[in-house]
Amino acid sequence: MSNTYFQFKKFIVHQEGAPLKVTTDACLFGALIETENAKSILDIGTGTGLLALMLAQKSDTSCILGIEVDKYSADLAARNFSESLWKEKMKSLHADIFSWSEHADSKFDLIVCNPPFFTSHKKNDDERKSLARHNDSLSHENLSIILSKHLSENGKAFIMLPPNEMIAFENYCSTQNLFPEKKSVISSNEEKAPHLFIMSFSFRPEKISEEKIFIHEKDGKYSKRFMELLAPYYLHL
């Protein structure tokens, strides 16, 4: 049985009954997101609020909005936000991102999304887990459109996807005049093929920079780079 909560150094994530729990990949994603000059942050598909809380810890933003389509997860996020040190600037909203976007013109300096990965994989019998993992409800094309509408002129968007999915997503972003800036290529260790790309996008075309990150060393211990990134968050680093 998985833990009902995940304790970080400065906050706790209650996750009992959530379709997706705290993962190493999601924590690494949160640690890599840059918050400099971001006064407003939108977390699309906030789940239990993990990314939003990680960003709240390392930023001086005045507003963080987490939008989540799953009511139970949105309520958990609201609880996690309310029990955090940054509760005054955090809000969890239960909504479908498209319905919200139709009636909202808000612009954000930073938009983050750990979107549903899969387009053609066999779906989970659990409807809530399937919704969280498959992009029927949030296609890459529609996500790129939402980013284009709600990202401020000088803002950045950070997205995490498997390599093949990210390539397709980049193509959709290009049609919205969103350009890649940084790419983190994530592998379990140096002998494994990359399983994730974490990328930032903006409206300014720039030469893209790339970093390879291995989560583990060959002996199974966390890599130096991983520990450096997660030290502000993990209890035992």
Residue with tokens 């996807």: 161
Question: Does the pLDDT at position 3 exceed 80?
Answer: no
210-221: per-residue pLDDT in tens? 999 999 999 999
When divided into structural domains, the chain yields a total of: 1
Whether 235 maps to a domain, the answer reads no
Strand order in 196-202's β-sheet?
A: 90-94, 63-68, 40-44, 108-113, 151-161, 196-202, 179-187, 209-214
CB 179 within 8 A of CB 202: yes
In a domain, 135, yes or no: yes
Task: Give domain status of residue 236, yes or no.
Answer: no
Size of the chain in residues? 237
In a domain, 59, yes or no: yes
Q: How much of the chain is in helix, strand and coil states, percent to nearest 5?
A: 30, 25, 40
Q: Is residue 237 part of a domain?
A: no
Q: With respect to residue 107, please indicate whether it lies within any of the assigned structural domains.
A: yes
Q: Report the CATH number at residue 146.
A: 3.40.50.150
- Assess if residue 178 is contained within a domain: yes
Residue 223's domain spans which residues? 5-230
* Nearest CA among 182, 188, 154 for reference residue 170: 182
Q: How far is CA 214 from CA 84, 115, 122, 225, in A?
A: 30, 22, 28, 8
Dist. CA 102–CA 5, nearest whole Å? 34
Confidence band for 131, pLDDT divided at 50, 70 and 90:
very low
Contact 184, 197 (CB under 8 A): yes
Question: What gap in Å lies between CA 39 and CA 63, rounded to an integer?
Answer: 7
The reported pTM is 0.91
Provide the pLDDT confidence category of residue 20 given band limits of 50, 70 and 90: confident
